[in-house]
Structure 1
Amino acid sequence: MWAMYERWCVFHGVKRDHQDMLRRFSLFKDRARSIHEFNKSGKPWTQGLNRFGDQTPEERSRLYPPRFCPRPLADQ
Structure 2
Amino acid sequence: MNPIRERSMVSNSKKGAAKNKREQPAESPVAVEPAVFHPSHDEVARLAYRFWENEGRSDGDQEHYWHKAEAQLRAIGPS
Same fold (TM over 0.5): no
TM-score (norm 1): 0.31
Higher helix share: 2
Return the index of the structure with the highest Cα Rg: 2
